[in-house]
C-alpha cells in the first residue's frame, strides 16, 4: 500500500440538497479546513426547487474558489470529490452532482456519492466525539430518529408527513414573520417563543415511534387566524408540543436500544429549548447528550466531505455512470462499512 | 422493585394485598411543561385501563387490572410470567415462527374487529406465558375508533417492528400476521386495511415505489 500523509490528503465535499449550496474541505484526519455556505433565500414563500437550483449554479464557482482560499490549498491537492447524492430536491441535487462530476473529471480524482442523512449523523459524531448514539436528526426536510443496529443506520421513528422544521417555517410564514440575514424562521420562532407564556391547546400526535406534524401545523395556523392568541404564545405552544413529541420518540428509541449517547443534529438542533429537553432525557437514561455545533447543524459541505472520506477509506467510490442522484434514498439503504457497533 | 424503565412509564414489581402485581407508573416528565405532561399522563392512564378491558371483551387476553389511580397516573395489574415475543421469535423454527405470527395476526384482527387500536404493536408488547398463552400488554397509545386509517397505521407499526428487530424474518412474519388477521376480520376488510398500509407507506418519506403506483 502506498503511504500517505493523512493531514496532506484532502476531500472536497459539495452539498446541494435543498436551499443551501455549500463546499467543505477536510483532510483525511477529519480536520475541517474550509466550510463555505451560500444560502438561497426566497423573497416570499418556500423553496422553489428550480429557483434554488438556478441559485446553486450561479454561485457554485464562487463558493468553490472561496473554499480553496479558506483552506489555503490548490485544486490539485484534492484527492477525492464527494457530493450529496440524495435524498433531496431533484433540480438542486442534479446541479450539485453536475458540479461534482465536472470537478472530479477535471482533476482526475475519484467521485464519492454520499447520503445526506448519513452525513448529518457522521458530522455530529465527528464534531462531538459521539461513538454509537441514538440520533435525532431534525431539519426543514427531515425528522428521523435513528440508531446503528445490525450493520445499518436504522430508522426507529420518523415523521409520517411534514418535517418539524417545515412545520415551524410554514407557521412563521403564515404569521408574516420575515426571514433575514443570519436569522432563520426557526430562530425567529424560538425568539418569539421565549416571550410566550400562555399554552394553547394543540394536538399532540405520536403514533408509536412515528410522528405527525401536519395536524399540529393546521391547528396552530387556525388559532393564529382566529386572532384569539398572541403570536408569542402560539410560537411557545407550537414549540412545546412539537419538541415534546420529538423528545418522547427519542426517549423511546433510547430505552429500546439502550445506547449510551444521544446526538442532536440538523438545522433545528440549534434550538435551545429542544436541546434542553433532549438533555433531560439523556440524563435520565444515564446517557451522554451531544449536540452538533452550529456551523455543522445546517446543511454544509464539510459533512459531505467527511462522509466521503469515511466511505472512500472503505473502498466506496461512485463511478460517473453510477452518480445519478437519488431523490428518495433512505437511510436504511445506505451501506456504511465504516461504522462499528 | 423496578423491572422495566420504559420511555413512557416505569413498571414496578410489587407485593400488593398479598399478590404479586405490576404497578405501571407514569411518572412526570421533566422535559415537558406540567400542563402538557399532566394531560398526557392522565389521558393515557385512563385510556389504557379502558382498552385493557375492551380487549378482554374482544377475546384478546390482557393483564387483569386491580386498581387505577388517576391522580397519580398509576395502574396496578396482574404480573404476567413469561417471555416477550421479541426475545424468542428469532430462535424459533420457521414453522413455529409462522404459527406464532399467525396467532398474533388473529389477535390483532380481534382487536380491530372490535374497533380497538393497540397503538404500539411491537414484539416487546406481547408476552408468551410458559403454558403457551399469549398476552397483549401496553395499550398506552391505544384508541377506540372505527377509522380505517388507524387500523392501517397499527399494522404498519407491526411491520416496522418486524423490520427493525427481526429484519431477517420480517417478510415471512408479517405475511403470517396478515393471514391470521384476514381470517378474523374477513378477506374484504383485510384487503381494505392492506390497501391503507401501502397508502401509508407511499405517504412515508423517500419510498422509491411511491410514485409508481397510481392514485
At CA A191, angle to CA A185 and CA A195, rounded to 5? 135
B74 and B89 share one domain: no
Tell the residue number behind the cell numbers 473554499, with chain if given: A67
pLDDT 10s digits, B63-100: 999 999 999 999 999 999 999 999 999 899 999 999 99
Residue B55: inside a domain, yes or no?
Answer: yes
pLDDT digits 0-9 by tens, A12-43: 999 999 999 999 999 999 999 999 999 998 88
What is the distance between the terminal CA atoms of chain B, rounded to a whole angstrom?
Answer: 53
Locus of grid cell 464527494: A82
> Would B214 be classed as within a structural domain?
no
Q: How far is B18 from chain A (nearest CA, A)?
A: 31
Residue B204 predicted with pLDDT over 80:
no
- Please report whether residue B213 resides in a domain: no
Domain's final residue, options B61, B78, B95: B78
Nearest chain A Cα distance for residue B9, angstroms:
10
Of A161, A204, A280, which is closest to B31 when you measure between CB atoms?
A: A280
Give the residue-averaged pLDDT of A44-64: 94
Same domain, yes or no: B32 and B126: no
Residue B215: inside a domain: no
For helices B170-185 and B148-165, angle between their N-to-C axes, nearest 10 degrees? 150
pLDDT for residue B151 is more than 90: yes
For chains A and B, what is the number of CB pairs under 8 angstroms? 82
pLDDT at A172 exceeding the cut of 80:
yes
**CB–CB contact B7 A199 (8 Å):** no
- pLDDT band at B212; cut points 50, 70, 90: very low
In a domain, B116, yes or no: yes
Query: Facing residues of A263 across strands?
Result: A135, A290
Question: Of B57, B78, B99, at which residue does a domain stop?
Answer: B78
Give the gap in angstroms from C-alpha B205 to the nearest C-alpha of chain A: 7
Give the residue from A85, A115, A123, A81 showing the smallest Cα distance to A100: A81
Same domain, B90 and B191: yes
Angle between helices A185-193 and A164-174 (to 10 degrees): 80
Interface probe, candidates A142, A201, A328, chain B, greatest B C-beta count within 10 A: A328
Under 8 Å between Cβ of B145 and B52 = no
Residue B158 lies in a domain: yes
Instruction: Provide the grid cell at A94.
Output: 442534479
Same domain, B110 and B161: yes
| Disruptive mutation site among B124, B205, B210 for chain A (greatest number of A CBs within 10 Å) | B205
Catalytic residue at B115?
Answer: no
Write out the H or E segment, with its range, that includes residue B47.
Answer: helix B34-57
Q: In what order do the strands lie in the sheet with B134-136?
A: B83-84, B126-128, B134-136
Catalytic residue among B35, B72, B91, B120: B120
Kindly indicate the confidence band of residue B164, based on its pLDDT and cuts at 50, 70 and 90: confident
pTM of the entire predicted model: 0.85
Answer yes or no: do A330 and B207 touch at CB < 8 A.
yes
Q: Are residues B111 and B8 in the same domain?
A: no
Contacts (Cβ under 8 Å, ≥6 apart) of B187 = none
Mean pLDDT computed over B182-196: 95
Confirm whether B142 is domain-assigned.
yes
B125 and B92, same domain (yes or no): yes
CA dihedral A278, A279, A284, A290 (to 10 degrees): 100
Do residues B104 and B54 both lie within one domain? no
Residues of B in contact with A206 (CB under 8 A): 141
Answer whether residue A150 shows pLDDT above 80: no
Q: A149, A166, A208, A256: best mutation site toward chain B, by most B Cβ within 10 Å?
A: A208
Q: Distance (Å) from the C-alpha of residue A281 to the closest C-alpha of chain B?
A: 7
Same-domain pairing of B63 and B140: no
Distance of CA A276 to the CA centre of its chain: 19
Q: Are A330 and B160 inside 8 Å of each other by CB?
A: no
CB contact under 8 Å between B31 and A254, yes or no, is no
Among B33, B121, B157, the residue with its CB nearest the CB of A240 is B33
CA–CA gap between residue A107 and residue A105 (Å, rounded)? 5
CA distance B179 to chain A (A): 23
Q: Which residue of A has its CA nearest to B10?
A: A255
Residue B53 sits in the same domain as residue B128 = no
Distance CA B33, CA A238 (A): 12
Co-location of B31 and B125 in the same domain: no
Chain A residues lying within 8 Å of B153, measured CB to CB: 160, 207-208
Which helix (H) or strand (E) segment is B70 a member of?
none
Selected residue of A156, A207, A214 to mutate for chain B interface (largest B Cβ count, 10 A): A207
Q: What residue in B sits closest to A210 (Cα-Cα)?
A: B157
pLDDT digits 0-9 by tens, A213-269: 999 999 999 999 999 999 999 999 999 999 999 999 999 899 888 899 999 999 999
Cα(A274)–Cα(B32) distance, rounded to whole angstroms? 11
3-state secondary structure chain A: CCCCCCCCCEEEEEECCCCEEEEEEEECCCCEEEEEEEECCCCCCCCCHHHHHHHHHHHHHHHHHHHHHHHCCCHHHEEEEEEEEECCCHHHHHHHHHHHHHHHHHHCCCEEEEEHHHHHHHHHHHHHCCCCCEEEEECCCCEEEEEEECCEEEEEEEECCCCHHHHHHHHHHHCCCCCECCECHHHHHHHHHCCCCCCCCCCCCEECCEECCHHHHHHHHHHHHHCCCCHHHHHHHHHHHHHHHHHHHHHHHHHHHCCCEEEEECHHHHCHHHHHHHHHHHHHCCCEEEECCHHHCCCCHHHHHHHHHHHHHCCCCCCHHHCCCCCCCCHHHCCCCCCCC
Among A81-90, A263-272, B176-185, B191-200, the range scoring the smallest mean pLDDT is B191-200
Q: Is A234 exposed, middle or buried (0-12, 13-18, 19+ CB in 10 A)?
A: buried
Burial class of residue A272 in the structure, from the number of CB atoms within 10 Å of its CB (0-12 exposed, 13-18 middle, 19+ buried):
exposed
* A156: chain B residues, CB-CB within 8 Å: 164
| Inter-chain CB proximity A277 and B204 less than 8 Å | no
Give the per-residue pLDDT at A341: 67
Give the phi and the psi of residue B73 in degrees, each rounded to 5: 55, 55
Q: Domain residues for B103? A: 83-203
* Domain's final residue, options B78, B95, B126: B78
Are B59 and B162 part of one and the same domain? no
Report the percentage of chain A scoring pLDDT > 70.
98
Number of domains in chain B: 2
pLDDT-derived band at A327 (thresholds 50, 70, 90) equals: very high
B96 Cβ contact list (under 8 Å, min separation 6) = none
CA of B49 vs chain A CAs: smallest distance (Å): 18
- Asked if residue B212 belongs to a domain, the reply is no
Rounded Cα gap, residues B111 and B145, in angstroms? 11
Closest CA to B158 of B114, B106, B210, B209: B106
What's residue A256's pLDDT? 81
Alpha-carbon gap, residue A150 to A332, rounded angstroms: 11
Nearest CA in chain B to A89: B206
Q: Which chain A residues are closer than 8 Å to B33 by Cβ?
A: 199, 240, 244
Q: Are B31 and B120 found together in one domain?
A: no
Structural domains in chain A plus CATH codes: 10-119+297-333 (3.30.420.40), 122-294 (3.30.420.40)
Mean pLDDT of B164-187: 93
pLDDT band, very low/low/confident/very high, at B206 (cuts 50, 70, 90): very low
Q: ipTM of this predicted complex?
A: 0.80
Nearest CA to B152 out of B126, B189, B106 is that of B189
Range in A153-157, A167-171, A215-219, A261-265 the model is least confident about: A153-157
CATH number at residue B182: 1.10.510.10
The radius of gyration of chain A from alpha carbons, rounded to an integer in Å, stands at 20
CB B126 within 8 A of CB B63: no
Q: Determine what percent of chain B is predicted with pLDDT higher than 70.
A: 94
Q: Do A42 and A26 form a contact (C-beta atoms < 8 A)?
A: no
Instruction: Give the list of residues 6+ apart from residue A115 with CB closer than 8 angstroms, or none.
Output: A84, A85, A86, A87, A307, A329, A331, A334
Does residue A180 have a pLDDT over 80?
A: no
Q: Is the pLDDT of residue B24 over 70?
A: yes
Q: Of A74, A89, A110, A107, give the one whose Cα is nearest residue A21.
A: A89
**What residue has cell string 411557545?**
A236
Buried b (16+ CB within 10 A) or exposed e, B88-99: ebeeeeeeebbe
| C-alpha to C-alpha distance for B57 and A180, rounded to whole angstroms | 59
What percent of chain B shows pLDDT beyond 90? 73
**CATH number of the domain encompassing residue B13:** 3.30.200.20
Amino acid at each position: 500500500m502506498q503511504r500517505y500523509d493523512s493531514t496532506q490528503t484532502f476531500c472536497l465535499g459539495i452539498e446541494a440538497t435543498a436551499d443551501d449550496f455549500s463546499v467543505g474541505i477536510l483532510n483525511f484526519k477529519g480536520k475541517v479546513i474550509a466550510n463555505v455556505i451560500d444560502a438561497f433565500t426566497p423573497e416570499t414563500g418556500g423553496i422553489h426547487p428550480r429557483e434554488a437550483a438556478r441559485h446553486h449554479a450561479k454561485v457554485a464557482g464562487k463558493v468553490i474558489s472561496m473554499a480553496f482560499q479558506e483552506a489555503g490549498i490548490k485544486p490539485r491537492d484534492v484527492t477525492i470529490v464527494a457530493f450529496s447524492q440524495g435524498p433531496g430536491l431533484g433540480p438542486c441535487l442534479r446541479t450539485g452532482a453536475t458540479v461534482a462530476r465536472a470537478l472530479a473529471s477535471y482533476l482526475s480524482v475519484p467521485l464519492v456519492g454520499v447520503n445526506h442523512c448519513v452525513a448529518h449523523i457522521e458530522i455530529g459524531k465527528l464534531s462531538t466525539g459521539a461513538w454509537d448514539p441514538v440520533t435525532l436528526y431534525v431539519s426543514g426536510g427531515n425528522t428521523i430518529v435513528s440508531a446503528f443496529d445490525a450493520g445499518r443506520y436504522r430508522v426507529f421513528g420518523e415523521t409520517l408527513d411534514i418535517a418539524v422544521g417545515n412545520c415551524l417555517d410554514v407557521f412563521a410564514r403564515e404569521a408574516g414573520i420575515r426571514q433575514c440575514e443570519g436569522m432563520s424562521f426557526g430562530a425567529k420562532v424560538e425568539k418569539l417563543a421565549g416571550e410566550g407564556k400562555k399554552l394553547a391547546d394543540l394536538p399532540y400526535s405520536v403514533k408509536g415511534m412515528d410522528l405527525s406534524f401536519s395536524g399540529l401545523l393546521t391547528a396552530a395556523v387556525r388559532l393564529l387566524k382566529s386572532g384569539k392568541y398572541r403570536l408569542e404564545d402560539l410560537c411557545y405552544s407550537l414549540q412545546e408540543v412539537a419538541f415534546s413529541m420529538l423528545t418522547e420518540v427519542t426517549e423511546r428509541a433510547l430505552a429500546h436500544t439502550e445506547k449510551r449517547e444521544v446526538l442532536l443534529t440538523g438545522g433545528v438542533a440549534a434550538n435551545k429549548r429542544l436541546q434542553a429537553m433532549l438533555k433531560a432525557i439523556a440524563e435520565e437514561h444515564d446517557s451522554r447528550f451531544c449536540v452538533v455545533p452550529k456551523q455543522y447543524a445546517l446543511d454544509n459541505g464539510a459533512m459531505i466531505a467527511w462522509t466521503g472520506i469515511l466511505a472512500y477509506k472503505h473502498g466506496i467510490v461512485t463511478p460517473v455512470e453510477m452518480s445519478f442522484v437519488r431523490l428518495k434514498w433512505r437511510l436504511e439503504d445506505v451501506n456504511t462499512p465504516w461504522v462499528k457497533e | 422493585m423496578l423491572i422495566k424503565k420504559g420511555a413512557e412509564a416505569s413498571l414496578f414489581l410489587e407485593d400488593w394485598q398479598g399478590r404479586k402485581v405490576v404497578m405501571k407508573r407514569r411518572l412526570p416528565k421533566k422535559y415537558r411543561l406540567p400542563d402538557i405532561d399532566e394531560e398526557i399522563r392522565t389521558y393515557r392512564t385512563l385510556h389504557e385501563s379502558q382498552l385493557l378491558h375492551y380487549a378482554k371483551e374482544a377475546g384478546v387476553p390482557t393483564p387483569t387490572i386491580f386498581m387505577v389511580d388517576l391522580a397519580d397516573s398509576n395502574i396496578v395489574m396482574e404480573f404476567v410470567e413469561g417471555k416477550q415475543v421479541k426475545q424468542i421469535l428469532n430462535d424459533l423454527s420457521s414453522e413455529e415462527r409462522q404459527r406464532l405470527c399467525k396467532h398474533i395476526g388473529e389477535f390483532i384482527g380481534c382487536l380491530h374487529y372490535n374497533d380497538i387500536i393497540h397503538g404500539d404493536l411491537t414484539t416487546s408488547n406481547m408476552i408468551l406465558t410458559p403454558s403457551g398463552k399469549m398476552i397483549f400488554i401496553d395499550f398506552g397509545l391505544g384508541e377506540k375508533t372505527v377509522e380505517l386509517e388507524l387500523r392501517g397505521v397499527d399494522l404498519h407499526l407491526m411491520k416496522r417492528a418486524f423490520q427493525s428487530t427481526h429484519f431477517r424474518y420480517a417478510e415471512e412474519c408479517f405475511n403470517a400476521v396478515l393471514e391470521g388477521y384476514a381470517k378474523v376480520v374477513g378477506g374484504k376488510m383485510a384487503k381494505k386495511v392492506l390497501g391503507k398500509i401501502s397508502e401509508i407507506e407511499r405517504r412515508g418519506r423517500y419510498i422509491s415505489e411511491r410514485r409508481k403506483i397510481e392514485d
